[in-house]
């Protein structure tokens, strides 16, 4: 499990989890679950296109994911955001299927890009993945206060002179970069689960933003590590474990949250 | 003409089946989708379509036609979304997303088991991205029946659905059972996206559900007219897509045809872009 081949996976997956946990916190706060679901397929199209042209897959992932984010931002500006997101998503998935149908390696490649492949990371990819991750975290660090403010109250943010649409596009771009580093590991379909499930869980457990970020990172790391071990042992796809663990932890945290909040209300039925 | 319609297009029985199934599905999906756009349920539609992949791959595992799997898992998903929808809205998208993640994870597992147990290559592609040209002619009556059922649900509660989509408060005040109508509507969406999953694939089914209705609603605000325009656009995209896919056997770079699903999705997307041109938005 810790052979030299797997070491790359462990390193990459940990970096992915850290970034997913942080980006996911804002995605949940901003209710961008749909956008988080829609961006990874753009990265999938990019990877497929890059493999068709024989280019570096990281390059394809990045260009397409950022392109997808910009299309969503542009179309969502004066139209309906969810419609723009849905149509960008299907366009990118369709492009991905087109590119893959033109290349030689069809079925296995499509599968690992969509659902993840624990042995899909090579040593040379670690550096770009790490660099992208650091870039995402730095960008979020700079955007931290405006993001938080505009997520909590768009009106106050606007009154303070922030431009909500610019912040939105900026955030989508960061999310796209985060996505492009993760698709080779977790797969296009399960990436968003890794982004929103740990942070959704964290938000149900604590309301303080810094604590929620730390918790969401820790949960994301735990999810990915468990998924790698389970996937290695059973040979089943890693995406299955990421998705299931995400649902389980979210359900548990919601029940705990509900239980915590009903308990104080039970004592002493009031006189009517 | 032969450079538009490659030889044999009108006589090929596979094309006939594809065109018939595609038209039926596009018509119904667009009709149902108009309300999805008005209600802001694009994500729900997307989630139901994607969950179809879980059922489709599971159905293949037990040797049933994927269509039944699409329908079963979409209906289960609709039940889940409906239950979550009763809570307050902010967590609804999040919960939908997390359930969707688990469903896609399960789809990954089923597809993996499918391919290891029966060594069928290309199954993932069929389930996820559809194969319009592989629809059996014997399936047409079933498709027609399911399409009628979905349409029947939407038509039966057309007025209540419209009112509760435009203003839930007003509808509730008028005595419309808003939640029941919402649940019936989600069932209709499940059927529609399952049919769309059959033609353009589970993960692309949203294109037919959201694309033509969104374009139509940019052009007109009258619901009845929007339904007609959406249906026309959906059918047009499907038939043009089939034509282009047929012709594409002679296109570069490879001589085995472009995927019909991609062509349909690309057409749907271009129609939407056309309706977003400044010319149209000025009229709003």
For chain A positions 125-184, those within 8 Å of chain B (CB to CB) are: none
For chain B positions 227-266, those within 8 Å of chain A (CB to CB) are: 253-254, 256, 258-259, 261-262, 265-266
B59 at interface of A, judged by CB pairs closer than 8 A:
no
Within 8 A of A247 by CB-CB distance, chain B residues are 98-99, 101-102
Distance from CA of B171 to the nearest CA of A (A): 23
**Mean pLDDT over the full length of chain B:** 84
How confident is the model over B189-210, as a mean pLDDT? Answer: 90
Q: Do B248 and B263 contact (CB within 8 A), yes or no?
A: yes
Q: How far is CA A139 from CA A173, A259, B14, in A?
A: 10, 37, 52
Whether residue B268 and residue A90 make contact (CB cut-off 8 A), yes or no, is yes
Domain count, chain A: 1
Q: Is residue A56 a part of any domain in this protein?
A: yes
Indicate whether A254 pLDDT > 90.
no
Indicate whether B21 pLDDT > 80.
yes
**Three-state DSSP state, B21:** helix
Supply the ipTM of this predicted assembly: 0.86
- The per-residue pLDDT for B85 is 59
A197 at interface of B, judged by CB pairs closer than 8 A:
yes
Q: Is residue A177 a part of any domain in this protein?
A: yes
Domain enclosing residue A187, as ranges: 4-192
Whether residue B108 and residue A75 make contact (CB cut-off 8 A), yes or no, is no
Under the banding of pLDDT at 50, 70 and 90, the label for residue A272 is: very low
Whether residue A241 and residue B105 make contact (CB cut-off 8 A), yes or no, is yes
Indicate whether B15 pLDDT > 80.
yes
Q: Is residue A139 a part of any domain in this protein?
A: yes
Whether residue A193 and residue B258 make contact (CB cut-off 8 A), yes or no, is no
Q: Is residue A222 a part of any domain in this protein?
A: no
How confident is the model over B160-174, as a mean pLDDT? Answer: 86
Helices (DSSP H) in chain B: which residue ranges?
13-39, 42-62, 66-85, 90-118, 123-129, 140-156, 158-166, 168-173, 178-200, 206-219, 223-247, 260-275, 278-281
CB within 8 Å of A114: residues ≥ 6 apart: A44, A187, A188, A189, A239, B108, B124, B128
For chain A positions 81-120, those within 8 Å of chain B (CB to CB) are: 82-83, 85-87, 89-91, 93-95, 97-98, 101-102, 106-107, 110-111, 114-116
Residue of A nearest to B53 (CA): A189
pLDDT tens digits, B107-143? 888 888 877 766 566 677 777 787 788 888 888 899 9
Indicate whether B7 pLDDT > 70.
no
Q: How far is CA B140 from CA B63, B68, B107, B229, B264, in A?
A: 20, 14, 26, 25, 20
* CA gap B62, B72 in Å, rounded: 14
Whether residue B97 and residue A37 make contact (CB cut-off 8 A), yes or no, is yes
How confident is the model over B230-242, as a mean pLDDT? Answer: 93
Domains of chain B: 13-203 (1.10.3470.10)
Q: Do A259 and A266 contact (CB within 8 A), yes or no?
A: no
Q: How far is CA B69 from CA A236, B57, B117, B198, in A?
A: 21, 7, 18, 11
pLDDT tens digits, A113-136? 777 776 667 777 788 888 888 988
Within 8 A of B104 by CB-CB distance, chain A residues are 115, 189-190, 193, 239, 243
Indicate whether B282 pLDDT > 50.
no
The CATH number that applies at residue A15 is 1.10.3470.10
- The per-residue pLDDT for B227 is 94
pLDDT tens digits, A45-97? 888 888 788 777 778 888 888 898 888 888 887 767 788 888 888 898 888 88
Q: Is residue A250 a part of any domain in this protein?
A: no
- The per-residue pLDDT for B108 is 84
- The per-residue pLDDT for B225 is 93
Residue of B nearest to A83 (CA): B42
Within 8 A of A71 by CB-CB distance, chain B residues are none
How confident is the model over A107-112, as a mean pLDDT? Answer: 66
Q: Do A99 and A49 contact (CB within 8 A), yes or no?
A: yes
Distance from CA of A230 to the nearest CA of B (A): 13
Is the model more confident about B27 or about A107? B27
* A31 burial level (CB within 10 Å; 0-12, 13-18, 19+): middle
Indicate whether A100 pLDDT > 60.
yes
* CA gap B179, B190 in Å, rounded: 16
Distance from CA of A219 to the nearest CA of B (A): 15
């Amino acid at each position: 499990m810790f052979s030299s081949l797997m070491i790359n996976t462990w390193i990459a997956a940990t970096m992915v989890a850290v970034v997913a946990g942080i980006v996911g916190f804002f995605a949940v706060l901003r209710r961008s679950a749909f956008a988080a679901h829609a961006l990874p397929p753009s990265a999938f199209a990019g990877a497929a296109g890059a493999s068709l042209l024989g280019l570096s897959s990281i390059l394809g992932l990045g260009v397409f994911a950022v392109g997808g984010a910009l299309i969503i931002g542009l179309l969502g500006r004066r139209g309906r955001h969810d419609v723009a997101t849905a149509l960008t998503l299907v366009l990118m998935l369709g492009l991905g299927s087109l590119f893959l149908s033109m290349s030689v390696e069809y079925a296995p490649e499509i599968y690992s890009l969509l659902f993840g492949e624990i042995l899909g990371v090579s040593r040379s990819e670690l550096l770009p993945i790490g660099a992208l991750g650091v870039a995402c975290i730095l960008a979020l660090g700079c955007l931290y206060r405006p993001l938080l403010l505009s997520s909590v109250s768009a009106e106050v943010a606007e009154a303070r002179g922030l431009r909500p649409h610019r912040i939105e596009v900026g955030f989508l771009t960061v999310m796209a970069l985060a996505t492009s580093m993760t698709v080779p590991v977790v797969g296009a379909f399960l990436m968003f689960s890794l982004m929103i499930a740990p942070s959704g869980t964290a938000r149900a457990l604590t309301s303080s933003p810094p604590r929620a970020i730390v918790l969401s990172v820790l949960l994301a790391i735990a999810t990915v590590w468990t998924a790698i071990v389970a996937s290695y042992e059973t040979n089943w796809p890693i995406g299955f474990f990421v998705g299931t663990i995400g649902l389980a932890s979210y359900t548990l945290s919601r029940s705990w949250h509900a239980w915590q909040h009903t308990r104080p209300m039970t004592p002493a039925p009031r006189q009517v | 003409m032969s450079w538009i319609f490659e030889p044999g297009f009108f006589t090929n029985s596979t094309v006939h089946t594809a065109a018939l199934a595609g038209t039926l599905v596009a018509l119904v999906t667009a009709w149902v989708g108009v309300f999805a756009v008005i209600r802001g349920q694009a994500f729900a539609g997307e989630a139901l379509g994607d969950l179809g992949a879980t059922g489709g791959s599971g159905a293949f595992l037990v040797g049933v036609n994927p269509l039944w799997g699409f329908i079963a898992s979409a209906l289960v998903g609709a039940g889940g979304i409906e239950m979550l929808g009763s809570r307050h809205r902010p967590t609804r998208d999040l919960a939908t997303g997390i359930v969707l993640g688990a469903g896609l994870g399960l789809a990954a597992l089923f597809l993996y088991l499918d391919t290891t147990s029966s060594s069928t290559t290309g199954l993932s592609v069929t389930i996820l991205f559809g194969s319009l040209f592989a629809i059996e002619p014997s399936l047409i009556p079933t498709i027609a029946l399911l399409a009628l059922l979905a349409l029947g649900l939407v038509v039966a509660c057309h007025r209540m659905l419209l009112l509760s989509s435009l203003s839930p408060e007003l509808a509730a005040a008028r005595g419309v059972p808003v939640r029941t109508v919402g649940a019936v509507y989600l069932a209709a969406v499940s059927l529609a996206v399952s049919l769309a999953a059959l033609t353009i694939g589970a993960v692309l089914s949203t294109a037919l559900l959201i694309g033509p209705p969104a374009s139509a609603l940019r052009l007109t605000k009258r619901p009845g007219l929007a339904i007609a325009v959406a249906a026309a656009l959906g059918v047009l995209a499907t038939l043009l897509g089939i034509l282009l896919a047929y012709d594409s056997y002679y296109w570069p770079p490879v001589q085995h045809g472009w995927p019909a699903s991609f062509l349909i999705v690309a057409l749907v997307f271009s129609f939407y872009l056309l309706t977003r041109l400044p010319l149209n938005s000025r009229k709003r």
